[in-house]
């Protein structure tokens, strides 16, 4: 499974973004977690076996819930990551 670190900037906190990502990740079979960062960004650790599925997931991430506005997305490949069995919201 390939893992990615995704950092989202913009109006991404206080708009239901983590719950949106949680539902989306479970629909796409993505493993990992989502959490708010102290600087106002949202961090997603996402694991996926299929690049096409990951790309579809990311298109939906960029859209976000109705009150969100994503202004910047940074994606980094991760190596030597512990395997996740599901997708969670971290607090």
Name the residues annotated as catalytic. 18, 36
CA angle 17, 18, 24 (to 5 degrees): 90
Strands of 20-68, DSSP E: 31-36, 42-48
Helix (H, G, I), strand (E, B) or coil at 11: strand
């Amino acid at each position: 499974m390939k893992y990615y670190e995704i950092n989202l900037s913009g109006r991404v906190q206080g708009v239901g973004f983590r719950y949106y990502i949680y539902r989306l990740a479970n629909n796409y079979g993505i493993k990992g977690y989502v959490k708010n960062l102290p600087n106002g960004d949202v961090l997603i650790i996402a694991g996926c076996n299929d690049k096409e599925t990951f790309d579809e997931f990311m298109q939906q991430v960029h859209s976000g819930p109705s009150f969100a506005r994503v202004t910047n997305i940074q994606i980094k490949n991760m190596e030597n990551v512990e395997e996740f069995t599901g997708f969670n919201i971290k607090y």
